[in-house]
Structure 1
Amino acid sequence: MSKSSSSSSSSSSSKVLHLKDKVSGNEADLALCNLTEVPVRELALFPKATVVDLSCNNITSIPPEFCSLIHLVKVDLSKNQLTCLPDDLGNLVNLQHLDLYNNKLTVLPVSFSQLRSLKWLDLKDNPLEPDLAKAAGDCLDEKQCKQCATKVLHHMRAIQDDVDRAREKRLLKEKELGRKKEVKQREREAREKEARKREKAEEKEKRRKEYNAQRAALAAKEQQKKKNEEKKKKNGQAAGMVLMSNVLSADKKVVVESAPKPRRSLVGLLFKLLLLLLLGLAGVAASCRLTELQREAVCVPINAALDDGLSWAREQEGVVRQLVQNLSTAAKEFLESTQTSKN
């Protein structure tokens, strides 16, 4: 064991032995011991010592642990240097006699009002604040000291009530602030919820407008396509009409131009008319065959006739080929017979 711990242990033991020497029955006489602090731990070892005399020392304060000595009934702290008492002094519920004469106290702890067993109190020669000094009185005899205990307890209970009201008011204020804060929180959450709802509605409306715009664009595109098809049909019809008009104009021109030329042969004139007619028919057939006019009622018989003509030409192709072959064979035989006759 170290030297410091050994000395501390021996010092503690000496205090216990010293206090034991001072205890007699239910009394512990620690007056005039030059104490600067209350030996709380040592007093706690003697729960039967309900009367403690700590007068005429140099004690400046009382530790909070002193308030745990609830077995104390009478305490004498007169003629010390106390400037304050512990806040939990009211825990000494069995305390009946308290002597605080000739100290430096100005106020008492609010918990003093809880000393309901207190019957005797002396606060003379303390620089008490005016209201407390008025409640304490002079305390020059037993009767006045008892009155001092009653009046001071009443005074401290009034202070306790004020403190309780102030605390209650503070709690109510804090509760009100909490309620207002909660209301603001709910309002903020409601605003945020409404904002989210509005954003969703705006997003939905935006998507709906985009969808309608796409539908409108598709409809416009389809309408433009139909217009283009109708325009093509009209252009095809106009081209056919122009071609037919040109053919007719050409025919008229041929007739007009051929009138003043009586010397041309009739066969040449008929050949030209036939050629122009064929050209006109070819233009009409091409218009009905190659343009959008092929679905029109006017072009149906023309396309049918053209198909029939082509079919007939394909059918006659074999006949013409056979005819040419026969003519070739006949010519060959004719040439051979002619050659033989010459020989």
Structure 2
Amino acid sequence: MSKSSKVLNLKDKINGNEVDLSLCNLTEVPVRELALFTKATVVDLSCNNITSLPPEFCNLTHLVKVDLSKNQLTCLPDDLGNLTSLQHLDLYNNKLTVLPVSFSQLRSLKWLDLKDNPLEADLAKAAGDCLDEKQCKQCASKVLQHMRELQDEVDRVREKRLLREKELERKREVKQREREAKEKEARKREKAEEKEKRRKEYNAQKAAMAAREQQKKKSEEKKKKNGLAAADKKAAEKTAAKPRRSLIGLLFKLLLLLLMGLAGVAAACRLTDLQKEAMCVPVNIAVDDGLSWAKEQEGVVRQLVQNMSSAAKEFLESTQASKT
């Protein structure tokens, strides 16, 4: 059967605002076709073999009265509460045990029949009997109240779950932050240790260089000190020898000057007109006596001169040896 024939047949079932699909041996609800007739607010689907309602059934928000009695329904769609215009719902003689929590959102529901369903005890107690109009209205009111309590409980459970999840998430975030803080601290500590290691290595290298420089300096100072000591020793020896030579030379010079002076005075008193002067008389006498004595001591003088020449020669040789 094509879609057009379905629509044609459904149109034949419409009478005013009512659609009568009872006793049609249906196994599913023709939701798409019903959605085309928004003015048909009353739908009779009783006495069929419908086992479930498709989720799209909840989009038929124009429905006011629905009869699903004497079918094989085992459950209703979770979004049944979207049928906000629904006032009359007949679920008599099905296989329902529970109702969806969203059932509590059917604010317009005034009439409900749940007889002959294997309902759970609490739901069956809330539904009660539906033997007349009054009882069916009470059923709608009490079931809505019962479903609102279930909805509140579900909301509380969901809220607790959300709070628990938030708390778990918060704890995970705290643990994550603690772990990140520990990792950061560990990295910071590693960097500090690495820096301290490099600083110690640098200080060790610097200390080694300083020690080498100090050793080198000490070695140079030692060499310099040894050199200075040798130089001081040599200078001391040179200085000690020099005064000795200087003193002997000075004595020779003084003696030579004295002899030259005496010779000069003797020559002046002997060869010039000063020989008649009173001061030259003793000089001339001394010269004459000296010449007489020299003649007498000629051999002694010659020996003395020889001895002095030998002494002078030895002195010169010793001086040259000390220089080398």
Q: Secondary structure at the match of 1:155?
A: helix
Match of 1:211 in 2: 202
- Taking only aligned residues, the RMSD between alpha carbons, in angstroms, comes to 2.6
Change (3 A) 1:276 1:122: farther
Give distance in 1, aligned partners of 2:128 and 2:36.
36
Change (3 A) 1:244 1:36: same
TM superposition shift of 1:185: 2.1
Give distance in 1, aligned partners of 2:49 and 2:139.
25
Change (3 A) 1:30 1:209: same
Give distance in 1, aligned partners of 2:129 and 2:59.
30
Give distance in 1, aligned partners of 2:320 and 2:235.
12
Q: Secondary structure at the match of 2:19?
A: strand
Q: Secondary structure at the match of 1:28?
A: strand
TM superposition shift of 1:207: 3.1
Deviations 1:231-276 (A, max 9, x none): 2234445667898999xxxxxxxxxxxxxxxxxx999998787556
Give distance in 2, aligned partners of 1:236 and 1:127.
124
TM superposition shift of 1:92: 0.2
Change (3 A) 1:126 1:242: same
Match of 1:15 in 2: 6
Match of 1:153 in 2: 144
Q: How does 1:305-316 map to 2 (within 5 A)?
A: none
TM superposition shift of 1:174: 1.2
Match of 1:291 in 2: none
TM superposition shift of 1:225: 1.4
TM superposition shift of 1:169: 0.7
Give distance in 2, aligned partners of 1:143 and 1:150.
11
Match of 1:287 in 2: none
8 Å CA contact 1:244, 1:280 repeated in 2: no
Extract unaligned runs of 5+ from structure 2. 238-306
8 Å CA contact 1:243, 1:280 repeated in 2: no
Matched residue type, 1:123: L
Is the aligned partner of 1:281 residue 2:272?
no
8 Å CA contact 1:56, 1:80 repeated in 2: yes
Give distance in 2, aligned partners of 1:218 and 1:137.
103
Matched residue type, 1:151: K
Is the aligned partner of 1:128 residue 2:170?
no
Give distance in 2, aligned partners of 1:185 and 1:132.
46
Give distance in 1, aligned partners of 2:140 and 2:311.
158
Match of 2:49 in 1: 58
Is the aligned partner of 1:42 residue 2:63?
no
Is the aligned partner of 1:177 residue 2:168?
yes
Give distance in 1, aligned partners of 2:321 and 2:133.
155
Change (3 A) 1:215 1:163: same
TM superposition shift of 1:65: 0.3
- Pairs aligned (count): 256
Matched residue type, 1:47: T
TM superposition shift of 1:201: 2.5
Change (3 A) 1:99 1:271: farther
Q: Alignment identity in percent? A: 79
Give distance in 2, aligned partners of 1:14 and 1:271.
165
TM superposition shift of 1:118: 0.5
Match of 2:95 in 1: 104
TM superposition shift of 1:222: 1.9
8 Å CA contact 1:92, 1:115 repeated in 2: yes
TM superposition shift of 1:59: 0.4
Extract unaligned runs of 5+ from structure 1. 1-9, 247-264, 283-343
Give distance in 1, aligned partners of 2:114 and 2:163.
36
Q: Secondary structure at the match of 1:176?
A: helix
Is the aligned partner of 1:222 residue 2:213?
yes
Deviations 1:14-36 (A, max 9, x none): 21111111100010000000000
Q: Secondary structure at the match of 2:166?
A: helix
The structure with more radius of gyration: 2
Q: Secondary structure at the match of 1:180?
A: helix
Give distance in 2, aligned partners of 1:240 and 1:274.
25
Match of 1:144 in 2: 135
TM superposition shift of 1:204: 2.9
Match of 2:83 in 1: 92
Give distance in 2, aligned partners of 1:122 and 1:272.
162
Is the aligned partner of 1:199 residue 2:194?
no
Deviations 1:172-221 (A, max 9, x none): 11111121122222222222332233233333323332332233222212
Q: Secondary structure at the match of 1:151?
A: helix
Q: How does 1:262-281 map to 2 (within 5 A)?
A: 277-281=319-323
Matched residue type, 1:33: C
TM superposition shift of 1:227: 1.3
Matched residue type, 2:196: E
Give distance in 2, aligned partners of 1:58 and 1:67.
19
Decide which moves more: 221-230 or 269-278. Answer: 269-278
Give distance in 2, aligned partners of 1:180 and 1:34.
57
Match of 1:315 in 2: none
Match of 2:297 in 1: none
Deviations 1:274-305 (A, max 9, x none): 556544433xxxxxxxxxxxxxxxxxxxxxxx
